[in-house]
Structure 1
Amino acid sequence: MKISLPYGKGKMTEDVPSSRVKGIIQADSETVLAGSYEVSEEDLVENSLLNPIDSKRLSELAVGKKNIVVISSDHTRPVPSKIIMPKIIEEIRRGNPSAKITILVATGTHRLTTHDELVDKYGQDIVSKINIVVHDSDDEKNMVAIGTLPSGANCRINRVAAEADLLVAEGFIEPHFFAGYSGGRKAVFPGVAARTSVFGNHNGQFIDSKFSRTGILEHNPIHKDMVEAARLAKLKFIINVVLDHDKRIVGSFAGDSVNAHLKGTKFVDSVMEADPIYTDVTITSNGGYPLDQNMYQMVKGMTGAESTNKKDGVIIIAGRMNDGTGGDKFFRLFKDCDKVSDIYNDAVQTPAEKTEQDQWQAQILARVMINHHVIVVTDKSNAEMVEDMKMTYADSIKKALEIADEIVGSDSSIGVLPDGVSTIIKK
């Protein structure tokens, strides 16, 4: 049978032995999404702005405000800002034509977004006419303390957000491998927070919690911190979209930062939940561009496969990774370690206030690698990097399966999880 996985901006296809494939792991979302496909993406966004959840319209909230800041996702997220941002600006201008509007790009602790990426994201017109600030989590002089989080971490955020008299956030909701879901409160924290504050939240004990998993909000200590950070920052209004596997908007939720986000997560559950099919080999992807730009992001897809792959089984994950490792320290932790288990154990035992850059991502990747063999299918230019990080490189799914057969046997069972990021495995 032929399988197809998102890869970069295209697809990777391969024939796999149908006799060994136990199933395709994906949500049965056609019925739920049928209505969404009857409405244009623009209309879905506009309708949500016209009918906000537990909030006044953004145009009403904008009345009398002088300094309106819209937090927006960065280049690592597939948020269709070319559709959403013009609608947000139009709605603000409807209520307050003269308001100063600033777009604050929520890079979190990622690298800074480039000018070309801004143009690609928003279009030349918005880049030329609207003030855009790219958040730098290390720019200490522009961080403002706004309170203490439940974890005890000091919450410090970008001055641009802290000094807004109306704070708005644009984003999208998808499963998130330790915060439960993306979107909503994540725009503030870690989106526009100081690196040191983010470290306090992403500590080894929180990451190790059984509640810090995909699709879980209740009792999730990381989520709890994030909600409080958004409250302290006075995040007043959000518009979050839900995307299908083709990155098309199929749902849009605007309004109160907590309740609109929660309603959006329920919609995500209805279109992205799938039953596990436990197999010896799980073939997956990171959902294609932009999430498969680097190895750092690829960990997300691996956690999806982790939820349905048998212990000591093989995870085959495909990703273009045109941006390399995604972080030198992250890379070095694996290249320089004697045992991957040391990375995991060190992270869990590190006090929250001593959390270091990329520790959380390394901890999760180490957890996956301790329990599963990982084969990465990518461009040959990434081969050395993959091997240096103690994983196995393959130039095709066919080659990866040959390697997997040597590990778990040629009669091993296969499961296909086309998108390891945007699928919630039911437990």
Structure 2
Amino acid sequence: MNLKIEYGDGYININCEHPVDVRGMAGNPEAIALSGGIIDALENPINSPSLLEIGKQKIATNTDALAVIVVSDNTRPVPYRGEHGIMRYIIRTLLEAGFTQPQITIIIGAGSHRNMEANEIEVMLGLQESGLGEVKVTNHEYDNDDHLIYLGTTSRGSEVTVNRQYYEANLKIVTGLVESHFMAGASGGRKGICPGIVGIKTLKIFHGAKFLSSAKAADLVLEGNPLNDESLEVAQMAGCDFLVNTTLDADKRMTGVYTGDLVEAHQAAVQKIREYVVVPLEQHYDIVIIPAGFVGINHYQAGKAAIEAARAVKPGGQIIIIAKNTDTDPVGGKGYKQSLKLLAKHGKEEFLRMISDPQWEMIQEQWQVQMWSKVLTRIEQEDNLIYCALEIPDVEYEHLPGVPGWRLIDATDWQTLTDEQKIIRMTEAAIQRAIGSSNVSESSILLLKDGPYGIPEVAK
């Protein structure tokens, strides 16, 4: 078989001598008409006045009013840039309402992720090319007390601190992408605020071990999901005047723009993705192959692909992840690396016991390692995970779960190959190794072609 597998912003073609089931999202939604669909959504929001009306009202009250727009960072394929992106239409609506460019600030709500560089920001937003270069852009820093303001505590005991500039703004706009989320049920909506622009203290319960161990902390589950409930409570404390959320299909085409009320617009978007993101399966598989997709810019983010593969693999089965780690650090942040070392040293059972202790001082990004622990529990042996990527240095693999794909390669001509040839050879070797080490004479193999964006559901 010839398998077409997503890799970075393109695809690689893999040869496999064994039969492979290729499955993707069940639905095929229509893309919306651009840019008319964006303009229509801003003018006709859900349970809210239009953005233009809200903007005019704010300026009428205070001609020096300040507007903030919260955006996701570049780990999310939100269509911000250009003629077919949402950003220029949001800003142009604010300008029409009476705001000037210097009265508008974009806050990159990256949660605990690193700050974005100026060139990365321009690639993502395209402000200069759109003639919007006077609009200010700032990175939210979750661990910088000067950026934060204290709002009180949630009903679950979280100490709520949020971005001060956002909270004190006259007009608050939150944007984002609604897709299935393996912990919070769905991204977008309230998540633009929590965890997007909250402080480290607020994350202690939201991303703590207790919430993540809940059976309700899962894809497409909102009702009863403790992360959803906590995030929404924090977001409502911080306030939001207008939500702009988008949905995409498997090819990153925009399938909807949902604007207006923080809760109702988000719920409408979630209902939309429920129609098509599920990948129906009749069985679990011995071997599951999955690309890390757009989000898999580093090992930390690639964990999302691992979680989806774990939903489709048999207990004790094998998972192969193919990732193009384009981030400046292909592994992840300091806290993530620290947590991985603890997992490698103590094993998953002891690691989970440690972080569940009430006296445990949470390490930033330990939650992703907790999710890796769930994957390792499913596949039973760490060697049943193969991670195919070119960018992670050898020294970093000491503490990473699984087997690095390049260690399966025995090629004297390795240095003469292109990167595409290397990842192809690595992936083919990983598949052969998985088949060879399987205890099943006729191994069933699955390719989840949509990566972490398709949600496998096995018929009971």
TM-score normalised over the length of structure 2: 0.86
Q: CA, structure 1 residues 241+161, in 2 after alignment: closer, same or farther (shift >3 Å)? A: same
- 1:353 to partner: Cα distance: 7.5
Partners of 2:376 and 2:247 in 1: how far apart? Answer: 30
Letter in structure 2 aligned against 1:55 = S
Paired letter, 2:68:
V
Equivalence for 1:376: 387
Return 5+ residue gaps in structure 2 as ranges.
59-64, 407-425
Aligned match of 1:278:
284
Q: Partners in 2 of 1:352 and 1:14 — Cα distance?
A: 48
Amino acid at match of 2:371: I
| Alignment correspondent of 2:335 | 329
Q: Give, in angstroms, the shift of residue 380 of structure 1.
A: 6.1
Q: What is the CA-CA distance between 1:269 and the residue it aligns to?
A: 0.8
Distance 2:251 2:395 in 1: 31
Deviations 1:101-139 (A, max 9, x none): 111110100000110111101112466210111101111
Q: Which range moves more in the overlay, 204-213 or 129-138?
A: 129-138
Q: Give the C-alpha shift of residue 383 in structure 1.
A: 4.8
Partner of 1:91: 93
Is 1:9–2:9 an aligned residue pair? yes
Instruction: Determine the C-alpha separation between the residues in 2 that align with 1:209 and 1:62.
Output: 41
1:189 counterpart SS class = coil
Superposed CA offset, 1:72-128 (max 9, x none): 111211112111110101122222344821111101000001101111011124662
1:313 Cα offset (Å) = 0.6
SS at match of 1:251: strand
Q: Using a 3 Å threshold, how does the CA distance of structure 1 residues 376 and 168 change in structure 2: closer, same or farther? A: same
* 1:33-112 aligned within 5 A: 33-34=29-30, 36=31, 39-65=32-58, 66-82=65-81, 83-98=85-100, 100-112=103-115
2:438 matched to which residue of 1?
408
For 2:279 and 2:253, the matched residues in 1 are separated by: 20
Aligned length: 417
Q: Give, in whole Å, the separation in 1 of the partners of 2:117 and 2:387.
A: 28
Please give the secondary structure, in 1, of the residue aligned with 2:86. Answer: helix
Q: Per the alignment, do residues 287 and 26 of structure 1 end up closer, same or farther by CA in structure 2, a change over 3 Å counting?
A: same
The answer for the alignment partner of 1:113 in structure 2 is: 116
Q: Residue 388 and residue 354 in structure 1: after superposition, are their counterparts in 2 closer, same or farther (change >3 A)?
A: closer
| AA at the equivalent of 2:405 | A
The aligned residue for residue 348 of structure 2 is 340
> Do residues 310 (structure 1) and 314 (structure 2) align?
yes
Flag structure 1 segments of 5+ consecutive residues without an equivalent.
Answer: none
Q: 1:174 to 1:389 in 2, by over 3 A?
A: same
- Distance in 2 separating the partners of 1:286 and 1:44: 30
| DSSP 3-state at the match of 2:265 | helix
Q: Percent identity?
A: 28
Alpha-carbon distance between aligned partners in 2 of 1:13 and 1:146, rounded to the nearest angstrom: 52
TM-score (normalised: structure 1):
0.93
Per the alignment, residue 419 of structure 1 pairs with 450
- 1:360 Cα deviation from its structure 2 partner: 0.8
Cα deviation for residue 41 of structure 1 reads 3.2
Counterpart-to-counterpart distance in 1, 2:398 and 2:445? 24
Say which structure, 1 or 2, has more relative contact order (CA 8 Å, 6+ apart): 1
> Which residue of structure 2 aligns with residue 394 of structure 1?
405
Compute the RMSD of aligned alpha carbons: 1.9
How far has the Cα of 1:296 moved from its partner? 0.4
Q: Is the 1:245–1:287 contact (alpha carbons within 8 Å) kept by the matching residues of 2?
A: no
In 2, Cα distance between the equivalents of 1:78 and 1:357? 24
Residue in structure 1 matched with residue 253 of structure 2 by the alignment: 248
